[in-house]
Amino acid sequence: MQYDVIVIGSGPGGYVGAIRCAQLGLKTAVIEKYSTFGGTCLNVGCIPSKALLDSSEHYHNAAHNFDAFGISLKDLKVDMAKMIARKDDVIAQNTAGITFLFKKNKIDSFQGVGSFVDKNTINITKADGSTEQITAKNVIIATGSKPTSLPFLPVDKKRIITSTEALNLKEVPKHLIVIGGGVIGLELGSVYARLGSKVSVVEFAKSIIGTMDGGLGKELQRVLKKSLGMEFYLGHKVTGASAKGKVVKVTAEDPKGQEVTLEGDYCIVAVGRTAYSEGLGLENIGITVEERGKKIPVNAHLETAVQGVFAIGDVITGAMLAHKAEDEGVYVAEYIAGQKPHIDYNLIPGVVYTWPEVASVGKTEEQLKEAGVKYKAGSFSFKASGRAKASGDTDGFVKVLADATTDEVLGVHMIGPRAADMIGEATVAMEYRASAEDIARICHAHPTYTEALKEAALAATANRAIHA
Active-site residue numbers?
446
- The CA distance from 189 to 196, in Å, is 11
Report long-range pairs for 229-232 (Cβ below 8 Å, ≥24 apart).
229/193, 229/198, 229/199, 230/189, 230/190, 230/193, 230/199, 230/200, 230/201, 231/198, 231/199, 231/200, 231/201, 232/181, 232/200, 232/201, 232/203, 232/208
For residue 356, is the peptide bond before it cis, meaning its omega torsion is within 30 degrees of 0?
A: yes
- Nearest Cα neighbor of 204 from 172, 250, 249 is 250
Q: Specify which residues 164 forms β-bridges with.
A: none
In sequence order, the 6+-apart residues with CB closer than 8 A to the CB of 420 are 351, 353, 357, 359
Task: Please provide the distance, in angstroms rounded to a whole number, between the alpha carbons at the two ends of the chain.
Answer: 64
Strand partners, 116: 122
- 382 sits in the region (left: phi over 0; alpha: psi -120 to 50; else beta) called alpha
Longest dimension (CA), the chain: 69
Q: How far apart are CA 275 and CA 55, in angstroms?
A: 30
Q: State the burial class of residue 439 (Cβ atoms within 10 Å of its Cβ: 0-12, 13-18, 19+).
A: buried
Q: Under 8 Å CB-to-CB from 249, ≥6 apart: which residues? A: 241, 242, 243, 261, 262, 263
